[in-house]
Amino acid sequence: MTLEGDDLAVGVAAPAFSLHYAENGIQTLTLDDLKGKPAIISVVPSLDTPTCATQTKRFNEELGALGDKINAVTVSRDLPFAQARFCGAEDVKMRTASDYQTHSFGADYGLTIEELKLLTRAVIVLDAEGKVAYKEIVSEVTQEPDYSAALAALRMLV
């Protein structure tokens, strides 16, 4: 598959974004909302697929111990209401946010699968200032990311 957009390098400032989530209507999540604490952005094609569900639930479990020391979000192009339904059904406390409106997150982070117009599977860790500290784009979208490496990178910032 071909990825559209700019390649995001470790060490650079993460591009600004505007994503949406369902909580008392549709709300907006921006990069500025994540700044001030290290953050992990888990990117999946769709929460309604087994690997994406596993990735989201695994990070939700593993990150629970870090509590409010970090920000964590799963990003997909699922509609915000579908994301909220998934989290409720699966008892996921991790925030989800959607790139469904403008697709600019996928383009700016180099994560849009050109052929499918979905986001590819990836993990991005940001420091408290919003710089990219770690990035993994999973080479085969049906495989899970390297949880240990992503969590180690995040823990180094806490």
- Full 3-state SS string of the chain: CCEECCCCCCCCECCCCEEEEECCCEEEEEHHHHCCCCEEEEECCCCCCHHHHHHHHHHHHHHHHHHHHCEEEEEECCCHHHHHHHHHHHCCCCEEEECCCCCHHHHHCCCEECCCCEECCEEEEECCCCEEEEEEECCCCCCCCCHHHHHHHHHCCC
For residue 52, indicate whether it is catalytic: yes
Active-site entry in 34, 52, 122, 125: 52
Q: How many CB atoms lie within 10 A of CB 52?
A: 24
Catalytically active residues are 52
